[in-house]
Structure 1
Amino acid sequence: MNLKEFSEFLKNISSEPLRVLDPTIPNNKYVPLDLSETNEALNAVDVSSSKKLDAYVNSHIKTNEAQVAFGGYLEIRNIYKRSNHFNKQAQEERNIHLGIDLWCDAETPIYAPLEGIVHSFKNNTNYGDYGPTIILKHNISGVEFYTLYGHLSLASIKHLEVGKPLKKGKQIGTLGNAEVNGDYPPHLHFQVIKDIQDYQGDYPGVCSKTDLEFYKNNCPNPDLLLKL
């Protein structure tokens, strides 16, 4: 199944938006957030500080009378320059974001948008990494794919078991704070993955320009499901 076919499949799973946050939050309470390198307003923000970035995000949400800020798919971001995790020596800089971020409060409940099973989970503790992460495996109409949930709370993975079945709409965890989520303002990194390869509890959520074509094909836009 090529990218076009897989994208069409994802889009047609549901005519209604699928939710990873509280389903009673209407679309008009989600506001787009631009964290790209082309957003000049970010030049005045120390994005290496989770507190200062948090103040910027929360001000954006409040100004727009929203509850959640979202966005970031294939966004080129400067925020990753602060962490060696994305910029190891002799490696091309990774700065292209492969999921959608949903920015809201720590401890916000996170729900399975589709029926699935727990594929794997892990606390990814590198500075700037996901922190606690859950990956679900789905089989819809015979098509297997995966969804990743990054920046969760430690409690989200404490009593989890691989293979655990989850119904659509079942709570899978809560958002973590900056102390456990890689030092970011609280948010969910939500990503769709066609082929998980050999990864367990982790999968690249940021890529380099050289690898973009591969990841764009393997990680289509999560908004095909969320319909924000």
Structure 2
Amino acid sequence: MARKVTTVGFDADDTLWHNERYFQLTQAHFADLLSDYTEKDTLMQRLVAAEKRNLGQYGFGVKGFTLSMIETALDVTDRRVSGAVIEEILNAGREMLANPVDLLPHAQAAVAEAAENYRILLITKGDLLDQERKLAQSGLGDLFDAVEIVSDKNTSVYRDIFDRHGHSADSGVMVGNSVRSDVLPMIEAGGFGVHVPYHVTWELEHAETPVSHDRFRSLPDLSTLSTLLAGLP
């Protein structure tokens, strides 16, 4: 039998604070820089292909994204891209790493309320230094019982984290904006997956929502998370 919920994990980017909007703005700037060479739609397709190809080497986050932009710029220009454009791409990546942390509505209250009744974990992937920076600037760090910055999110990762910091995955809940990374692998690990969608999702995070699964839940935002958690078996 599944255990009663004791531990709640929160995703960070686009669940607790804005993140993808900065990638979207940078991609628009990137398209402007390469507009003499290709249309935006084609450029974005090539960029996504590069990101997907490079995940195993660069991982998730701004640094890998920046390297993929440079690779794409070289590709679409047949290596004719100027040093000035490469410099602009590097500067755009640095700006992303300095962006302020802007909490999503209800994020602080949702984490604080959950902390009153459960062990609270932050489980996020991306650049280690950047994620640590954002957590420190968010003001939420002291609310978490543990923080895990991982290279990827999958079933074995969730089982390991909830075994170490909770009782087990089947007594855990993962709250996040990504069906692919936050919901599906947590459900496969035996826990609950709570989907709180962000208005835009990175293409590589798209996945079919498991609406019929008895351990799937969905909320429009974090305002009613405490009520949802209290009603879980």
The bucket for the TM-score relative to the shorter chain is: under 0.3
Give 1 or 2: higher strand fraction.
Answer: 1
Structure whose CA Rg is larger: 2
